[in-house]
């Protein structure tokens, strides 16, 4: 992922965090910087005004240099910073611009939220942006072309521990035998027997979960260009996430990923969340 291009987060005229926390300042104060949404393939004549679809309704336009264009809006040099609700709105607006770019140009190289090109050392933001687009022209075009016709999909697979435990206990004769044996033993031996049974159960469940992850990962990889293994999340529910994958998939192969998701969800105790198509946030 390409990070923020700003030279100095504080900026030459920033006097403190309080001033930077005012989101409405962005377009009105001094639009000396350029907020960059992403890079798209473009020809020199392809100078497009996308209208007021950006953050806080800012006007988004294409800033073309050579064979690529940067989708930008004019803004102040301060990063967007305004609390959780405002940030969620901005991130959503950022996402919508990239979605539109994907459908319009067939490919987009997304920038991280709050990527702002600011003026520096006597150079304007436009000069800095043009320099960067010029220097990286070929490599950016290659990367954008490499993403053509592809999108990111999030595939999250979770399981219900209680259901998997029950299935393992029912299907494993060793556990059934240990359970029966414990009933006939004295208290101390029965305790050790139950502990042993729990250990075997845990081992079997872990094995089952490992197999589930491997199956999901390998099948997803078979129909994707690239797969990233993301951190599993715990949402506080009874479900446990076993796989959280970001998949870069050619759109004509999406049905295979969808079929995989359906197949996984068809098993009792397993749930699937398939999200997309998304701009390729994890693959740029």
Partner 1 sequence: MRVDIDDDDLRRGLVGLVVALAEIVKETMQLQALRRMEAGSLTEAELERLGQALMDLDEAFDRMKADLGVDDAVRSVRDGLDQAVDDLVNNLLGAESR
Q: How far is the CB of 168 from partner 1 (least distance, A)?
A: 19
Instruction: Compare residues 33 and 216 and give the one whose CB is closer to partner 1.
Output: 216
227 in contact with partner 1 (CB under 8 A): yes
Instruction: Compare residues 86 and 205 and give the one whose CB is closer to partner 1.
Output: 205
- Which of the stretches 23-31, 122-130, 157-165, 221-229 binds partner 1 when contact is defined by CB under 8 A? 221-229
Instruction: Compare residues 183 and 231 and give the one whose CB is closer to partner 1.
Output: 231
For residue 40, what are the β-bridge partners? 69
Contacts with partner 1: how many residues (CB under 8 A)? 17
Which of these, 32, 39, 116, lies nearest to 71 by C-alpha position? 39
Q: How far is the CB of 190 from partner 1 (least distance, A)?
A: 7
- 273 close to 154: Cβ distance less than 8 angstroms: yes
Residue 109 to residue 279: CA distance in whole angstroms: 8
Q: How far is the CB of 111 from partner 1 (least distance, A)?
A: 20
230 in contact with partner 1 (CB under 8 A): yes
Phi (first) and psi of residue 159, to 5 degrees: -135, 160
196 in contact with partner 1 (CB under 8 A): yes
Site for partner 1 in 198-217 (CB under 8 A): 199
231 in contact with partner 1 (CB under 8 A): yes
Instruction: Tell which one of 14, 165, 232, 278 touches partner 1 (CB under 8 A).
Output: 232
**Quick one: CA dihedral 110, 94, 107, 249, positive or negative?**
positive
Helices then strands, each counted (H, E), the chain? 9, 10
Q: How many CA atoms lie within 13 A of 258 on its CB side?
A: 8
Instruction: Compare residues 107 and 224 and give the one whose CB is closer to partner 1.
Output: 224
Those residues whose C-beta lies under 8 Å from the C-beta of residue 155, and which sit 6 or more positions away, are 216, 220, 243, 244, 245, 246, 247, 257, 260, 261, 272, 273, 274, 275
Convert residues 150-189 into a mask of x (bound to partner 1 by CB under 8 A) and - (unbound).
------------------------------------xxxx
| Two tokens, residue 35 | 């907020």
Instruction: Compare residues 9 and 196 and give the one whose CB is closer to partner 1.
Output: 196
Instruction: Compare residues 100 and 155 and give the one whose CB is closer to partner 1.
Output: 155
End-to-end Cα distance, the chain: 5
Q: How far is the CB of 110 from partner 1 (least distance, A)?
A: 18
Residue 125 to residue 186: CA distance in whole angstroms: 80
Instruction: Tell which one of 44, 192, 259, 275 touches partner 1 (CB under 8 A).
Output: 192
Q: How far is the CB of 185 from partner 1 (least distance, A)?
A: 9
- 4 close to 128: Cβ distance less than 8 angstroms: no
What is the binding site for partner 1 (CB under 8 A)?
186-192, 195-196, 199, 227-232, 234
């Amino acid at each position: 992922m390409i990070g923020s291009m700003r030279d100095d987060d504080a900026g030459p005229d920033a006097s403190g965090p309080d001033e930077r926390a005012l989101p409405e300042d962005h377009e009105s104060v001094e639009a000396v910087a350029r907020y960059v949404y992403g890079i798209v393939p473009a020809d020199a004549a392809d100078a497009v005004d996308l209208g007021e679809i950006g953050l806080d309704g800012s006007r988004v336009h294409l800033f073309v240099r050579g064979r690529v264009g940067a989708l930008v809006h004019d803004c102040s040099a301060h990063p967007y910073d305004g609390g959780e609700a405002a940030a969620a709105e901005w991130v959503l607006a950022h996402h919508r611009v990239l979605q539109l770019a994907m459908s319009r140009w067939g490919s987009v190289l997304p920038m991280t939220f709050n990527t702002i090109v600011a003026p520096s050392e006597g150079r304007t933001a436009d000069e800095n942006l043009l320099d960067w687009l010029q220097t990286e022209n070929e490599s950016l075009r290659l990367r954008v072309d490499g993403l053509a016709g592809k999108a990111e999909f999030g595939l999250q697979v979770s399981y219900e521990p209680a259901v998997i435990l029950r299935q393992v206990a029912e299907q494993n004769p060793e556990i059934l035998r240990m359970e029966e044996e414990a009933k006939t033993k004295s208290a101390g031996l029965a305790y050790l027997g139950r502990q042993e049974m729990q250990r075997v159960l845990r081992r079997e469940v872990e094995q089952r979960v490992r197999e589930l992850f491997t199956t999901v990962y390998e099948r997803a990889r078979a129909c994707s260009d690239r797969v990233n293994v993301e951190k599993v999340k715990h949402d506080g529910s009874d479900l446990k996430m076993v796989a959280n994958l970001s998949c870069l998939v050619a759109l004509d192969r999406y049905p295979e990923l969808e079929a995989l998701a359906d197949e996984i969800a068809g098993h009792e105790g397993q749930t699937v969340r398939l999200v997309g198509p998304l701009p390729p946030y994890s693959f740029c």
